[in-house]
Amino acid sequence: MAMGAVGGQVPDPASALSYFECLNAMAFDEFARLKLDVAVIEAGLGGRLDSTNVMASPLAVVVTPISMDHMARLGPTLTAIAEEKAAVIKPGVPVVSGFQPDEVMAVLRAKAQQAQAPLLIASQPLPVGQLCLDTDDPHRQLGQYASGLLGPYQAQNLALVLKVLEAVDSALPVPEAARCHGIAHARWPGRYQWVAPYRLLLDGSHNEAGLNTLVDAINQDFGHVDLCWVLSLKRNRSLAMLQPLLQCAQTRHVIVLAPPAAEAERFHEPEAMADFVAHHAPEGTVVTIFNDATFLDWLRTQPRQGSFEGTLIVAAGSLYTTGRLLKGLALGEEDGSVD
């Protein structure tokens, strides 16, 4: 239906439009059909040339923390990347930013001033409270809120969300009860997602900043527990970004996950990854190569036996791989339970 609508405007949409442009057109067509009250639109890459950058006057423009990522397309410096991302700022539309490095904030201030757009900054994260995993409803206390998103770094994200609600309050007021309900029931599959039966933490972090944040979060929440990493990485990512994970003193086992044959060209070769791991992980670390099926079989048996009792298993490095594991585990979308 959506592509039919696009076809009415573009003679040959299949060849004239990119995959992401087609997806974007389909999404907006569906939003219009459903008559949504509000939609959160996330840019996929950068901002200036992103297919989502087609709205003239959104309620607000939100800029999450910017780090070194997609440098081949966005530029080699934080300033260059910020220029690309700041191109989504619209005349007169409030801009809400999370905490940013100085060079990024300088770009945002200049762009907002040029567009005569008010700039609000969520510079202080909420207080990080207890992580509760021993319940049917895992949650993290962040300030006054019980959050369904578990990572301690969500304290900064939630501060940004609350600042966005402040910016759009006149057009879209959200009562406190609705805020509490939404925060408590928020779910982000594959992002610091706890799978209790296997003591498995699924996290799709796939850039240097994200992986460093993951290590910090694990140290904060789980202390000196033994670690088993389950890793895969796309070829456009340097293996060196895995070093913060591998250099954790509590690393005991690393599983390199071989991709399916159809995706093999997009990922580092498992043997090369295993060799890198062996040279950078603590002495005595066991390195194994599994495919999805053998890993899932292993996950359902070995970690409950012998030396693996109490070990935390962490899958990271690729959202694509995390998605495959979610499917393989048949995780319930609503509650994260294992079917």
Same domain for 83 and 146, yes or no, is yes
Same domain, 112 and 255: no
Sheet holding 95-98, edge to edge: 61-63, 95-98, 119-122
Q: What is the mean pLDDT of the chain?
A: 90
* DSSP letter string, 113-154: HHTT--EEEE-SPPPEEEEE-SSSS-EEEETTEEES---TTH
State how far Cα 218 lies from the chain centre. Answer: 16
Flag whether pLDDT at 6 surpasses 70. no
The verdict on 72 and 155 lying in the same domain is: yes
Helix (H, G, I), strand (E, B) or coil at 74: helix
Residue 195 backbone dihedrals phi, psi, to 5 degrees:
-115, 95
Domain count, the chain: 2
Polymer length in residues for the chain: 339
| Domain end (from 130, 152, 185) | 185
Q: Which two tokens stand for residue 140?
A: 């993290």
Do 159 and 237 belong together in one domain? no
Tell me which H or E stretch contains 319.
helix 319-329
Does 212 share its domain with 323?
yes
Which of 126, 161, 185 is the C-terminal boundary of a domain? 185
Within-domain flag for 334: no
CATH code, domain carrying 55: 3.40.1190.10
User: Do residues 168 and 262 share a domain?
Assistant: no
Q: Stretch 76-84: mean pLDDT, rounded?
A: 92
Residue 260 lies in a domain: yes
Instruction: Look at residue 197 in the predicted model and tell me its pLDDT.
Output: 85
Does residue 201 sit in the same domain as residue 230?
yes
Helix (H) or strand (E) holding 287: strand 286-290
In a domain, 335, yes or no: no
Tell me what the mean pLDDT of segment 242-248 comes to: 93
Helices 102-114 and 78-86: crossing angle in degrees, nearest 10, is 30
Residue 336 lies in a domain: no
Tens of pLDDT, residue by residue over 259-281, are 999 999 999 999 999 999 999 99
Q: Report yes or no on 242 lying in a domain.
A: yes
Residue written as tokens 């081949």? 72
Same domain for 10 and 152: yes
What pLDDT score does 39 carry? Answer: 94
Q: Is residue 27 part of a domain?
A: yes
Query: 161 or 76: which carries more pLDDT confidence?
Result: 161
Are 242 and 141 found together in one domain? Answer: no
Instruction: Please indicate, yes or no, whether residues 110 and 175 belong to a single structural domain of this protein.
Output: yes
The answer to whether residues 181 and 199 belong to one domain is: no
Is the pLDDT score of 338 beyond 50?
A: no
Q: What is the pTM of this model?
A: 0.82
pLDDT interval class at 90 (50, 70, 90): very high
Domain assignment of residue 79, yes or no: yes
Range of the structural domain that residue 48 is part of: 2-185
Which of these three, 155, 185, 215, is where a domain ends?
A: 185
Q: With respect to residue 22, please indicate whether it lies within any of the assigned structural domains.
A: yes
Residue 311 sits in a domain of what CATH number? 3.90.190.20
| Predicted confidence band of residue 303 (pLDDT cuts 50, 70, 90) | low
User: What was the pLDDT predicted at 333?
Assistant: 46
Q: Tell whether 248 and 134 lie within a shared domain.
A: no
